[in-house]
Amino acid sequence: MTIKENRKAFLFVTLTFIISYLLVFFYFLFGGKWVMPGSLIISIIYMFIPMLVSIFVQKIVYKDLVKEPLGISFKLNRWFLIAWLLPVIISFLTLGINLLFPLVEFTPDMEGFYESLKATLTPEQMEAMKAQAEAFPIHPYWIGLLQALVAGVSINAVAGFGEELGWRGLLQKEFAFLGFWKSNLLIGIIWGIWHAPIILQGHNYPEHPKIGVFMMVIFTLLLAPIFSYVRLKAKSVIAAAIIHGTLNATFALNLMVIKGGNDLTVGISGLAGFISLVLVNFGLFIYDHYFAIEKIMTNKPIQI
């Protein structure tokens, strides 16, 4: 099979892009603004489109089963735990790498974090937030981390599943014949470009929305092998939803205690995060090459 001959994948990608892009187009056509709560609502709906399209293509168009072929399994193994905790490691790595950049400094008093909120909060709201933070028995960073871990296996995992049933479910299966690296190169590019309409509105890269589209493609290219490896080792797209949801939940953590930089340099979706993801990919490669019994990171067709 060639990519051109894979009609199911082509149909899924085409429908997902058309529906997603039209959602954003009609939102603005009817007077929507990319501000809360509208932007949040659209973003959440956007995340569930790959899931809905994959179910439609798999079950309605091709009259096939959904659960087993697309990897929906709740049979727990250690890779579910890795899916849950790996984003925390990525967040810690990114925090350390942030501080290597010029004019970026560690601010445990969250000065930089508060400055970033001045444009969206009133002085009264800002003072109330500071007072609440000072009243906590431990630093707000650790409370945020705990909340992120809870959200990562609950509400955020549900939202992550909205995307993952498409990317690591249907596309992972349909592109399995390409092998690990080629399939993830293709999925990473598709996944990144799919984000373009909301990135152009300032999602993830509010300071650089146009360059942000290119940055997002790099981001998803680096994430794709990690998410795929977890999904394949866990033998479940649910594990991919957990790592996706937890990563989203920890997204802003490393920005809470730094000052300086911008959305292209610091944070998980900036250059610092890219370096972290390269290191994690390298770590998984070393594990797979030297320690794993079942090798996945090869050019041979993936067994799903």
Can you give the residue ranges of every domain in the chain?
Answer: 72-290
| 183 against 111, higher pLDDT | 183
pLDDT at 119 exceeding the cut of 70: no
State the DSSP string of the chain.
Answer: --TTT-HHHHHHHHHHHHHHHHHHHHHHHTT--SSTTHHHHHHHHHHHHHHHHHHIIIIIIS---STTTTT------HHHHHHHHHHHHHHHHHHHHHTTSTT-EE-TT-HHHHHHTTTTS-HHHHHHHHHHHHHSSS-HHHHHHHHHHHHHTTHHHHHHHHHHIIIIIIIHHHTGGG-HHHHHHHHHHHHHHHTHHHHTTTSS-TT-HHHHHHHHHHHHHHHHHHHHHHHHHHT-HHHHHHHHHHHHHTTTGGGTTEE---TTTSSTTSHHHHHHHHHHHHHHHHHHHHT-SS--SSSSPP--
Supply the pLDDT for residue 156. Answer: 98
Mean pLDDT along residues 202-208: 93
pLDDT at 241 exceeding the cut of 90: yes
Mean pLDDT along residues 286-303: 95
Q: What pTM, to 2 d.p., does this model score?
A: 0.95
Mean pLDDT along residues 9-31: 97
Supply the pLDDT for residue 4. Answer: 60
pLDDT at 143 exceeding the cut of 90: yes
